[in-house]
Amino acid sequence: MSKIEEVKVLVETGKSKKVAAAVQEALDAGVKAQDILDAMVASMGVVGDKFSAGEIFVPEMLIAAKAMSKGVEVLKPHMAGDSASSLGTCVIGTVAGDLHDIGKNLVSMMIESAGFTIVDLGVDVPADKFVEAIKANENVTLVACSGLLTTTMPALKEAVQTIKASGLDVKVIVGGAPVTPEYAAEIGADGYAPDAGSAAVKAKEIVA
């Protein structure tokens, strides 16, 4: 089995104690960080499909997520981009009612490496907490809201509209698997991105 396949299997089966070492071994063997990340994201897709098929349940999804997070920690220093410029502070969080944070953490990592300072509010963030964080932190230029569930898309809308109604001068970017560019435009977001890499590109574009 190749190093990258080994990482995939360890994530899918939630072997969090072994993933970090396997990711490091893959890097040492010359596998690119982005390829390892893509493999782990694909693994989470497999996990989701198994959940949909009733082959696994929430605890298995949770341990797979923990395993992936361990792998991402090892990759983080290898994913850093050009952060020489300062584009201000980005407040980021997963919206109210939603506990998914892997995608949000990847977006955070990429936006940070694009030149933003990150204030991460975590998961299950009510709309008014985003506004409080914009006021409480210096030079907030961007808010990034993630939502992974179709049931939390209204919370995404509430977050964007509460931020906009506050009159604070910030741009808002949204994303997450069920979000579409059309929905982002409909709820008044300034930007949408389908994945972490393009979120960083879009963040720079809308703040510039």
Name the residues that contact ligand B1M, by CB under 6 A: 41, 44-45, 47-48, 51-52, 58, 61-62, 64-65, 97-104, 106-107, 144-146, 148-151, 173-178, 193, 195-196, 199
| Beta carbon of residue 83, minimum distance to ligand B1M (angstroms, whole number) | 18
The helix (H) or strand (E) run that includes residue 17 is helix 16-28
| Beta carbon of residue 134, minimum distance to ligand B1M (angstroms, whole number) | 15
| Beta carbon of residue 116, minimum distance to ligand B1M (angstroms, whole number) | 12
DSSP calls for 92-143: EEEBTT----HHHHHHHHHHHHTTPEEEE--SSB-HHHHHHHHHHSTTEEEE
Q: Using alpha carbons, select from 47, 29, 27 the residue that is nearest to residue 37.
A: 27
* C-alpha–C-alpha distance, residues 72 and 82, integer Å: 19
Kindly tell me which of 30 and 54 has the beta carbon lying closer to ligand B1M: 54
DSSP calls for 51-77: HHTTSS-HHHHHHHHHHHHHHHHHHHH
| Beta carbon of residue 115, minimum distance to ligand B1M (angstroms, whole number) | 16
Kindly tell me which of 3 and 175 has the beta carbon lying closer to ligand B1M: 175
| Beta carbon of residue 190, minimum distance to ligand B1M (angstroms, whole number) | 11
Kindly tell me which of 30 and 50 has the beta carbon lying closer to ligand B1M: 50
Kindly tell me which of 29 and 99 has the beta carbon lying closer to ligand B1M: 99
Q: Which residues pair with 171 in a beta bridge?
A: 142
In the chain, count H helices and then E strands. Answer: 9, 5
Q: How far is CA 129 from the centre of its chain?
A: 18
Kindly tell me which of 6 and 120 has the beta carbon lying closer to ligand B1M: 120
Kindly tell me which of 1 and 58 has the beta carbon lying closer to ligand B1M: 58
